Amino acid sequence: MTHNWKIYDLKRTITDGIVTEIIYACESELSGSTTRKIGELTITGSTDDTDFIEYENLTEDIVLGWVTDSIDTSTFETANSSSIAEKIARKAARTTTNGTPW
């Protein structure tokens, strides 16, 4: 099972570039079956913080660090693993299919 964490979007204030909301996802894959779970994280900060990073200098890795430090990533990964396992089991249990031979 492969779990890939991604940042989908950031909400920020225009005047100072402070990020206030992060839309993120855990995308998982096993043997061609995929699923994803999307989350939203509200954060606070100030330009006066010693570790403040200008919006233009943010990278996906930095923002992913904020997310993974703030949530229980295993909850997302476990949910995705279960979802994929169910998909694989349903596919294996099929006895009919649609289509044409040409």
Per-residue pLDDT tens listing for the chain (102 residues): 999 999 999 999 999 999 999 999 999 999 999 999 999 999 999 999 999 999 999 999 999 999 999 999 999 999 999 999 999 999 999 999 999 999
Look up residue 101 and give its two tokens: 């031979």
pTM value? 0.87
Q: How many residues does the chain have?
A: 102
Beta bridge partners of 92: none
pLDDT at 100: 97
Question: Would you tell me how many other CB atoms lie within 10 Å of the CB of residue 22?
Answer: 21
3-class SS of residue 51? coil
Task: Note the pLDDT of residue 79.
Answer: 97
